[in-house]
A and B are shown apart, each in its own frame.
Chain A
Amino acid sequence: MSYVSLENSENFLKCFEVIAEDKSCIISDSVLYFSGKTGKGFITVGGIATGIEVLAVNVSMLTEDLTIRFQPSSGATSYILGFDETEIPSKGDNDVPFNQVSSSFEKGHSAISITDAAAGRTITFPKDRIIRSLIVRVRQSSLDHLIKDFDAGTIAAILESPEGAASLSWPITFKYRLLLNDFMTEIVQHPFRELYTIRSVSMLVEFLLQQFFVMDKLRKDGNELSTQDTQSLSRVEQHLCLHYKKEFPGIEKLSRISAMSPTSLKTKFKRYYGETLFGYYQKNKLEHARKLLDSKIPVKVVATEIGYSNPSHFTLAFKKEYGFSPWHYLNPH
């Protein structure tokens, strides 16, 4: 198992170099490419100049777990934000056995987290997974700056309260998945890497805050979900996100995946994700369609690509969601 330990005072560039040395990888233009022996993919750092450090990890098929540990330190207050998406590579049939999914929860599951750097943090990237992850270290002053018009005090209060955990974490939604996916495909080639990094981080922080306040409200209303419910719901969420090309799986199947009754699944999902099951599935699906349209793929092809057998059904759904048809999306003037 390879292990990278990081003092709080050290910057991410250092961490990056340690990983490179350990895995004997090539760094070119501040991107570290894994060679075929140790895994596939890349790791890159960004935002060093701006004081918001970002370590982007996009790897699959690691041959051994990669662990990064931030040593607790009492230096300048900063937060470590983690945006992780872990996928189990599909082997022919796309239906992942449930026991396998639940085992992935033990370490390195898909989650967003916010940690006080003073408490230290260990991040493990498990082997044989598809991993997209952004680790962001941001000074408290910068974060306050970034979110000054939000009620930032709430977050600080929870993180600093003695009885609260030093780390908050909750499951991710399709917005994060899409953004992480985009980020990883574009970052290496992007002509303005710093701008793109800061834009993405800023958007992630926005999502994070939105979700944080939803969670906080749920907590205050006494509707907090149990750990088990959270896991079950995020299994359902992951299923909906990954199989957007297929038909909507139907409530029976989803309730089997979550091991909940259909009614309680529906209520809890709505409460937690703010959307109905189908609404969530549809939003994700159409967002994928919108992306395809952005890359100049014809409407007909897009419809087939995301699993519509009839293009006009796609057009209707698109119009219902965004208020204009795909054609008008492509030709706005």
Chain B
Amino acid sequence: MKSQDPDQEKTIKALHWQEFSFPLGLRAAMVKGSAEGLDLALPDFHGQGFTLSFINHKGDLRIKTGSRPEDREQSASPGLGLMSVAGRRIMFRSGAPVSFAALVLFIPAGWVRLFLGSNPQFRKIEQLLEEEPNVLTCRLGRRQLSLLSLALAVLTEKELHLLNVQNNALSLMEFFLCNRHRSLLGVNPSSDIDNEDDLSLIREVESYISEYYCSDTFTVDSILKKTYTSYHRLNFLFKSIHGMTISEYIRNKRIEKSKEMIADNVKSISQIAYEIGYSSISNYILAFKKVYQITPGKYKKQIDSLA
């Protein structure tokens, strides 16, 4: 739990984990302070489950995962969440003066079953973590950082209630899991976009489009207003995910829909054009031709002759 090398311990004012046990059955260890150097391992909770650590630091910090000497060390950016299987070795190291704060939550296996097991996506997180030396990370925002420092205040203030600390810890955990969850759901590995904010923006726009694309008052401008993005940015994101501009995307959606309506053979082509949001029929015919290389009238005839 403390530094491994006895010689080093003399020179380094070692930081110690302080353990807590929360009312809801989570256990936690916290540390906060500054030191000349750091060589701190994640505490061992002696149990099955996961550890979820939230760290923040000023100065230089490297994180080493895995127990073999050849395992790599990575320098860490301030404000991180790390999740791994309990019992796996993670070292926080620094050769220079550093101020370091960490909250480590131990989530017992039973707890996982009870609170997280009902989500099928959680299996994927578990599978990802099973592989040595995998660690899931996530950057913390300001809100999370302030939650972290609120939780850590328990180390210095005796007045603070554990319930309060627990709630801050739970909020952090929820943030971490939701963040991971979003990226598990939507990531297209082949695209070069891996920023979760961008992805969620695209999903939002897509769902907005699929809801409103048939309305004749629907414009790209209305999307921009709703999502507070610029046209160029949205187009760039759309191109990298769908390989087409946003207006092409909307046009394809409309034309696809009109194709289905033609096949239904209930409405006339001019009616269809109007219903999917085209104000002039010639525009519609041109658009249809661009997508399917055939005019809607000819397409209708083809279908009729097949029937």
A interface residues with partner B (beta carbon < 8 Å): 49-50, 145-150, 190-196, 198-199, 202-203, 205-206, 209, 290, 294, 296-298, 301, 322, 324, 328-333
Q: Which residue of B lies closest to A294 (CB)?
A: B143
List residues of B (134-151) whose CB comes within 8 Å of A's CBs: 140-143, 145-146
Contact B23 A146, beta carbon cutoff 8 Å: yes
Contact A191 B142, beta carbon cutoff 8 Å: no
Determine the chain B residues whose CB is within 8 A of the CB of A294 once the complex forms.
141, 143
Contact with B114, one of A50, A145, A203, A331 (Cβ below 8 angstroms): A50
Bound together, the chains give a CA A186 to CA B162 distance in angstroms of 26
Bound together, the chains give a CA A283 to CA B130 distance in angstroms of 44
Contact A150 B181, beta carbon cutoff 8 Å: no
Contact A194 B167, beta carbon cutoff 8 Å: no
Please encode chain B, from 110 to 134, with 1 for each CB lying within 8 Å of some chain A CB and 0 for all others. 0000111011011000000000000
User: Do most interface residues of chain A lie in helix, strand or loop, or is the interface mixed?
Assistant: helix
Contact B24 A194, beta carbon cutoff 8 Å: no
Contact with A195, one of B79, B145, B174 (Cβ below 8 angstroms): B174
Contact A194 B115, beta carbon cutoff 8 Å: yes
B interface residues with partner A (beta carbon < 8 Å): 23-24, 77-79, 114-116, 118-119, 121-122, 140-143, 145-146, 161-164, 166-167, 170-171, 173-174, 177-178, 181, 197, 228
Which 7 A-B pairs rank lowest in CB-CB distance, beginning with the nearest?
A332-B142, A199-B170, A191-B181, A194-B115, A329-B142, A195-B115, A146-B23
Bound together, the chains give a CA A333 to CA B177 distance in angstroms of 21
Give me 24 A-to-B residue pairs in the complex whose CB atoms sit less than 8 angstroms apart, sorted by A's number: A146-B23, A147-B23, A148-B23, A192-B119, A193-B118, A195-B116, A198-B24, A198-B170, A199-B167, A199-B170, A202-B166, A202-B167, A203-B167, A203-B171, A206-B161, A206-B163, A206-B164, A290-B143, A296-B228, A297-B228, A328-B142, A330-B141, A330-B142, A332-B140
Bound together, the chains give a CA A149 to CA B146 distance in angstroms of 23
Determine the chain A residues whose CB is within 8 A of the CB of B78 once the complex forms.
333
Determine the chain B residues whose CB is within 8 A of the CB of A50 once the complex forms.
114-115
Determine the chain A residues whose CB is within 8 A of the CB of B142 once the complex forms.
324, 328-332
Determine the chain A residues whose CB is within 8 A of the CB of B163 once the complex forms.
146-147, 149-150, 202, 205-206, 209
Bound together, the chains give a CA A329 to CA B164 distance in angstroms of 22
Bound together, the chains give a CA A301 to CA B302 distance in angstroms of 52
Min CB distance A306 to B, Å, is 16
Determine the chain B residues whose CB is within 8 A of the CB of A49 once the complex forms.
114
Determine the chain A residues whose CB is within 8 A of the CB of B166 once the complex forms.
202
Contact with B121, one of A191, A298, A329 (Cβ below 8 angstroms): A191
Contact with A191, one of B24, B173, B177 (Cβ below 8 angstroms): B177
Bound together, the chains give a CA A273 to CA B166 distance in angstroms of 24
Determine the chain B residues whose CB is within 8 A of the CB of A331 once the complex forms.
142
Min CB distance A85 to B, Å, is 20
Determine the chain B residues whose CB is within 8 A of the CB of A328 once the complex forms.
142
Bound together, the chains give a CA A322 to CA B149 distance in angstroms of 13
Known contacts A195-B174, A202-B166; is A150 also within 8 Å of B79 by CB?
A: no
Of listed B78, B79, B174, residue having the most chain A CB within 10 A = B174
Known contacts A147-B23, A206-B163; is A199 also within 8 Å of B118 by CB?
A: no
Bound together, the chains give a CA A325 to CA B60 distance in angstroms of 26
Bound together, the chains give a CA A6 to CA B177 distance in angstroms of 36
Bound together, the chains give a CA A146 to CA B170 distance in angstroms of 14
Determine the chain A residues whose CB is within 8 A of the CB of B119 once the complex forms.
191-193
Contact B161 A150, beta carbon cutoff 8 Å: yes
Contact A332 B115, beta carbon cutoff 8 Å: no
Determine the chain B residues whose CB is within 8 A of the CB of A149 once the complex forms.
23, 161-163
Determine the chain B residues whose CB is within 8 A of the CB of A329 once the complex forms.
142-143
Bound together, the chains give a CA A146 to CA B118 distance in angstroms of 23
Q: Which residue of B lies closest to A290 (CB)?
A: B143
Determine the chain A residues whose CB is within 8 A of the CB of B228 once the complex forms.
296-298, 301
